[in-house]
Amino acid sequence: MWREQGVDVYIARQPIFTRHKKVYGYELLFRESMGEKLGQVTGERATTSVLSSVFLTEGIEKISDNKPCFINFTQWLLGQNIADVFPKNKIVVEILEDVNPTDKVVQACRSLSEKGYLIALDDFVYEKKLTPLIELADIIKVDFRLSSIAEIERMLYQLSRYSLKFLAEKIETHAEFEKAMKLGFSYFQGYFFCKPQTLRIREVASVKVNMINLLAEVNRRTTTVERLDAIISRDLGLSYKLLRYINSAYYYLLHEVTSVRQAIIYLGVKEMRRFVTLVIISELASEKPEELVRLSIIRGRFCELLAQYATPQLDEAELFLVGLFSLLDALLDTSMKEIVESLPLSREVCQALVERRGTLFPYLRLVTAYEQQQRAICLKTCRELDIPPADLAGHYLKAVELADRVVGNRPT
């Protein structure tokens, strides 16, 4: 959690996809504090705190992966000309739905547009009075939970004379994603990508069976350096990725590592197990949106970091697997129960993934509540687990860094 003059500010990101399920940018989720007294933090306070923290303290690349960030702006913030302090290629100015198009607001938006900033209108519902803002906007965001399909179609027709791109918000299923595509939307936001496209009990494709078997092998407690060396050395692609990973700038090695065995000894069995697991997850998702891999890794690392608060102590490796494997059903379009039965996982991990209960599940619940901005669940679970809410954002950022590093290391 970032702190600005005593205020804890909620930071997370939600991906915005193109029609090809590639990440276009992220919306930064920061509307309220994660502290106990949520109502005491205004939109202006949260936004200015996050902007200063992200751009001036932490560095925007750390949270955005060098993609544009959609930032919410209130009426007051627009009037104060806050947006143009920040780089136009780093942010999209998102105007909240309750902003009135006063002369001052319209002039501020016109100035931003002339300087090259992209402007998005959030939770848009057509009203004639919004015409001055529509004329300046680049992107219109339409909430699929607030408007019916008939209302959306009517709205798109009313706006057809303007040069606009449309972003569908709250897209939760693949059917909604496909419908929004047919309607002509260019961008999509929601959690449709982390659910199975066609959930059915079936045989997993043979090429993926091999990967799952490898995944099972490296996660056995009896795995040794020799066994890992034998497994990885048989796979040319995996060997290449390992050597590229170990010789990346992240490790600042004085001498290049040239063999799989050297890499395993340098990283150690625990880190090697994690690396191979991450690569296999990445391979399993080859036909899925890249963001699904990122989210899996974020969840895994986030859960792992929360192990330090557990009393009695929990196995951080098991919490890592709970988070990482929590999206396997979406990766494989197969039921979680069928997948888990093919892996040598502990009873506690299986309970968390399949039955959504047990000693490990509350940590996964906390992580998913944080990423989806479910503050009430987040705070309640923090109290149950005795985890300070103020610690969450720092752990989230560490998880994001690992995910971006691993996904960024994937061959294109």
Report residue 2's pLDDT band, with 50, 70 and 90 as the boundaries: very low
Burial group, residue 409, by CB count within 10 angstroms (0-12, 13-18, 19+): middle
Which of the residue ranges 138-142, 193-197, 249-253, 322-326 would you say has the lowest mean pLDDT? 249-253
- Give me the pLDDT at residue 45, please: 55
Residues 359-376 have a mean pLDDT of 93
pLDDT at 20 over 80: yes
pLDDT at 313 over 50: yes
Of 4-13, 57-66, 194-203, 253-262, give the range with the top mean pLDDT.
253-262
pLDDT at 202 over 50: no
Q: What is the mean pLDDT of the chain?
A: 82
222 vs 153, which has greater pLDDT?
A: 153
Which of the residue ranges 24-33, 374-383, 389-398 would you say has the lowest mean pLDDT? 24-33
Residues 382-392 have a mean pLDDT of 93
Give the CA distances from residue 207 to residues 44, 210, 227, in Å, rounded to whole numbers and listed in that order.
51, 5, 21
**What is the share, in percent, of the chain residues with pLDDT greater than 90?**
40
125 vs 77, which has greater pLDDT?
A: 125
- Give me the pLDDT at residue 7, please: 42
Report residue 12's pLDDT band, with 50, 70 and 90 as the boundaries: confident
Q: Do the bridges between strand 118-121 and strand 91-95 make them parallel or antiparallel, or are there none, so unpaired?
A: parallel
Residues 323-345 have a mean pLDDT of 85
Residues 79-91 have a mean pLDDT of 83
Contact indicator for 134, 156 with CB cutoff of 8 Å:
no
pLDDT at 10 over 70: no
Query: Which residue type sits at 337?
Result: K
pLDDT at 411 over 60: no
Residues 157-173 have a mean pLDDT of 94
Sorted by where each starts, the structural domains of the chain and their CATH numbers stand as: 2-194 (3.20.20.450), 206-408 (1.10.3210.10)
pLDDT at 23 over 80: yes
pLDDT at 180 over 50: yes
Q: Which residues contact 384 (CB under 8 A, 6 or more apart)?
A: 362
pLDDT at 196 over 70: yes
246 vs 29, which has greater pLDDT?
A: 246
Determine which helix (DSSP H) or strand (DSSP E) holds 27, and give its type and residue range: strand 23-29
Q: Please state, in angstroms and rounded to a whole number, the distance separating the CA atoms of residues 191 and 169.
A: 10
